[in-house]
Structure 1
Amino acid sequence: MLVIELRLMQIIGLGTALMMPIIGNLSDQYGRKALLTLPMTLSIIPLAILACNRTTNYFYAYFAFKTLTDMVCQGSINCLALAYLADNISYRQRASAFGILAGVTSAAYVCGTLAARFLSTGLAFQVATFVSLFAVVYMRIFLEESIPADQGEGITQPILKEGEEDNIIQNDDNAPTKVPPFKKIPSLGYYLKARFHFNKNQFADLMLIGGIVATISQLFIMPLLVSPIGDGRLLSIGLFASCVYAILYSIAWSAWVPYAAAAVSTVMVFAPPSLRSIASRQAGPREQGKAQGCISGILSLANVMAPLIFSPLTSLFLSEGAPFHFPGFSIICIAITLMIAFIQSLMIGRAPSTSNAENSTEV
């Protein structure tokens, strides 16, 4: 079963990696609302199948449609929502807006997890189908179309401008799943199940704690830090916290440690919206969909590659034939990659400036 799930994740991830830049690019030409309708509508189909019946044939139909629709829908709604925000919000406020959107997403995830925990399976799928239908109808009626103008803010603030490092440090006020921060570390669920015999209820508790912490942090804490700190520093802080988070899991000596590590989620959730905000500032007004789509595609590709690398490593060090006793060795390797990303984030403010940036207009 684990092998089937892994293969399915790879198929969906590859499909998403290809589709996200295309969908983002099309939204730049035809509008966000028009393109948003497609994934929101398609995502209803698998839910509706199991809402009708949960026999074997219906499950196979759900499995097939879920695989196909996820290749288009997974991540595209969030990607287009971010592009829509970028169209309608000044670059100086995007970091806060992206963080709030991430907080709302985390809140929705918490509500979905609670619903799945307390509702029967059949009723949960019926409620999910109704909510998804309502979301599409609401979006079509009330959301105004957003097609970027040819002229606008453009690349208003590049990652770096020559001779402005001090300005960036002191005055940078541009800072901007499913599962809490960075979704989930590859192989983490498998590791916790094998190491501490976690069951589905404990996993649900961990996801709820992480989701609640992420919601509070992104909705209330991150907007307060955007202006004084800036998205570049928030990105670095989030990556460093992610590294600490992975280290705590890798050396966890008791089942309560993963619960305690959830406190680090308060800070590590800063990284994704900050990264999106930095990328958004480097793209022109008619390139926001393409920029966000490319980031989503890269994330999907990483979700394909990471299990291929870390799952066998996790299995090896949890087995009796491990080269040395360190059950969390694969997680510490993830921590090392996060530390490399953290070091790279510290260099963002020193990138060479572009001529377009120097001639851009500020909104």
Structure 2
Amino acid sequence: MSWWSGFFELKPLFHLLLPLSIHWIAEAMTVSVLVDVTTTALCPQQSSCSKAIYINGVQQTITGIFKMAVLPLLGQLSDEHGRKPLLLLTISTSIIPFALLAWNQSKEFVYAYYVLRTFSHIISQGSIFCISVAYVADVVHESKRVAVFSWITGLSSAAHVIANVFARFLPQNYIFVVSITLLTFCPLYMHFFLVETVKLDPGKNQELGFCTRVIYVLSRRYKSMRNAAEIVIFSPTLRGVALVSFFYKLGMTGIHSVLLYYLKAVFGFNKNQFSELLMMVGIGSIFSQIVLLPILNPLVGEKVILCSALLASIAYAWLSGLAWAPWVPYLGGSFGIIYILEKPATYGIISKASSSTNQGKAQTFIAGANSISGLLSPIVMSPLTSLFLSSDAPFECKGFSIICASVCMIISLIFACMLNPNTGSRDDDLEGNQQDPLLNYN
């Protein structure tokens, strides 16, 4: 019943999910190719490229610094000014960076791509999914949200499989052209067909003078940010899941920032092997998210699913870091079928613990706090990975940095075991119904 329930709940979300799926395809089809493009441009005729690892780490660090403020802000704006304009903004930011690589893949253009892609990631990375989850919460009843979230993350996995098929069989010169064509289609489709779900309050600030309006906007942003922090801090469930998610992202972000470069350096993987590996994981993830999670969730609950996902992520990290043959990363990647369930389980717990008016605030505040992982993990992972891939390594373990990252997932599992999603009140009373004194200006 839950499986079919989740499927039928997707019908009113068609105009959201179609452009989202196309957007995921367009972005994911470039992942495996970017490793070859970056390595070729920055380190010609070399399999290992410290420059590529470091520039990727710098990009993630800068993104993590600014996302801490930008993600919660975008969530607040989506609660107050509507989901549609924020989705249009965030989903459009990838077009120009990929257009550069479609035009030219020289060293200068690769550097320009990373600069523009950093700005794009600051605005869109994480925020697209969080705002989409808030959109779903506007439309779908609380009792059916986890099933719907699993269907959506399953569609994301399906999009990644299709993307990796494109990456596997399309010539490299056409991949970025196809990508920007699809990326341009998405905001255009949303503009014409997506329906707004937030009832906008025009308020009284249109009658204010310029100076008073500036004060009003700054005061409202501060108050909204403070309320978002209070919603998470004073809710035992949200506070607990924030810790779980933070340490999980800290470890997993670090692994994913270096994994493909590590596999290229150690086993000589290229875009074909990367695409095959990602396709294998994606196909299994479709089944686990679309079929398995909606069936298991009513039986065992989000906490058991979350803990199982974290255990799988630890196994994935250890097998990847200790890989002794080219087939071992494929075995480790198979655990992605289970650890991918962390995302819908986390979204479900956050959504249940948040009121209908605070979905965007709660989701993006926690995602913004998690962006600190994008700041911290590359600082450690980039130099550590480069060191152990070089001839100066203190001992022979090329995947030592990935083993270190698994410690964060172990800490996350400990917090998850302590989590009780059924404890603590919802955040309805935290937002309050206080009037903003600036609204009294005439």
Same-fold call, TM cutoff 0.5: yes
| Whole-angstrom CA distance in 2 between matches of 1:231 and 1:149 | 33
Which amino acid in 2 is paired with 1:283? Answer: S
Partner of 1:23: 74
CA contact under 8 A between 1:50 and 1:122: conserved in structure 2? Answer: no
Partner of 1:313: 384
* 1:293 paired residue among 329, 343, 364: 364
CA offset at residue 203 of structure 1? 2.1
CA contact under 8 A between 1:314 and 1:329: conserved in structure 2? Answer: yes
Partner of 1:89: 140
Partner of 1:168: none
Q: Secondary structure at the match of 2:356?
A: coil
Cα distance change, pair 319–62 in 1 and its aligned pair in 2 (3 A): closer
CA offset at residue 12 of structure 1? 2.5
| Whole-angstrom CA distance in 2 between matches of 1:318 and 1:304 | 22
CA offset at residue 59 of structure 1? 5.9
| Whole-angstrom CA distance in 2 between matches of 1:79 and 1:206 | 27
Partner of 1:267: 338
Q: Does 1:144 align with 2:195?
A: yes
CA offset at residue 148 of structure 1? 6.3
* 2:174 paired residue among 116, 123, 136: 123
Which amino acid in 2 is paired with 1:94? Answer: R
Cα distance change, pair 104–348 in 1 and its aligned pair in 2 (3 A): same
Q: Does 1:334 align with 2:405?
A: yes
Q: Secondary structure at the match of 2:335?
A: helix
CA contact under 8 A between 1:148 and 1:285: conserved in structure 2? Answer: no
Which amino acid in 2 is paired with 1:314? Answer: T
| Whole-angstrom CA distance in 2 between matches of 1:246 and 1:58 | 33
Between 229-238 and 280-289, the greater mean CA deviation after superposition = 280-289
Aligned length: 332
| Whole-angstrom CA distance in 2 between matches of 1:210 and 1:72 | 27
Q: Does 1:280 align with 2:351?
A: yes
| Whole-angstrom CA distance in 2 between matches of 1:350 and 1:66 | 36
Cα distance change, pair 63–334 in 1 and its aligned pair in 2 (3 A): closer
CA offset at residue 226 of structure 1? 1.3
Q: Does 1:41 align with 2:112?
A: no
The 5 A counterparts of 1:1-363 are 1-2=51-52, 3-51=54-102, 53-54=103-104, 62-147=113-198, 184-349=255-420, 353-354=424-425
| Whole-angstrom CA distance in 1 between matches of 2:408 and 2:165 | 33
Cα distance change, pair 209–283 in 1 and its aligned pair in 2 (3 A): same
CA offset at residue 235 of structure 1? 0.6
Q: Percent identity among equivalent residues?
A: 37
| Whole-angstrom CA distance in 1 between matches of 2:175 and 2:391 | 41
- Unpaired segments ≥5 residues, structure 1: 161-180, 359-363
Which amino acid in 2 is paired with 1:228? Answer: L
CA offset at residue 119 of structure 1? 2.5
- Root-mean-square deviation over aligned CA pairs: 3.0
CA offset at residue 321 of structure 1? 4.3
CA offset at residue 198 of structure 1? 2.6
| Whole-angstrom CA distance in 2 between matches of 1:344 and 1:105 | 27
Which amino acid in 2 is paired with 1:54? Answer: N
CA offset at residue 9 of structure 1? 2.5
Cα distance change, pair 252–120 in 1 and its aligned pair in 2 (3 A): closer
| Whole-angstrom CA distance in 1 between matches of 2:173 and 2:363 | 35
CA contact under 8 A between 2:90 and 2:128: conserved in structure 1? Answer: yes
CA contact under 8 A between 1:149 and 1:285: conserved in structure 2? Answer: no
| Whole-angstrom CA distance in 1 between matches of 2:268 and 2:182 | 34
| Whole-angstrom CA distance in 2 between matches of 1:20 and 1:114 | 31
CA offset at residue 237 of structure 1? 0.7
| Whole-angstrom CA distance in 2 between matches of 1:61 and 1:117 | 26
Which amino acid in 1 is paired with 2:148? Answer: A
Deviation sequence 1:292-334 (CA, Å, 0-9, x none): 2123223332123112122333334444444444333322222
Cα distance change, pair 323–86 in 1 and its aligned pair in 2 (3 A): same
Which amino acid in 2 is paired with 1:32? Answer: R
| Whole-angstrom CA distance in 2 between matches of 1:352 and 1:31 | 30
Cα distance change, pair 352–225 in 1 and its aligned pair in 2 (3 A): closer
Output the TM-score relative to the length of structure 2. Answer: 0.67
| Whole-angstrom CA distance in 2 between matches of 1:105 and 1:350 | 25
CA contact under 8 A between 2:319 and 2:331: conserved in structure 1? Answer: no
CA contact under 8 A between 2:167 and 2:271: conserved in structure 1? Answer: no
Cα distance change, pair 58–86 in 1 and its aligned pair in 2 (3 A): same
Which amino acid in 1 is paired with 2:336? Answer: S
Q: Secondary structure at the match of 1:187?
A: helix
Between 9-18 and 76-85, the greater mean CA deviation after superposition = 9-18
CA offset at residue 282 of structure 1? 1.8
Q: Secondary structure at the match of 2:315?
A: helix
Cα distance change, pair 72–332 in 1 and its aligned pair in 2 (3 A): same
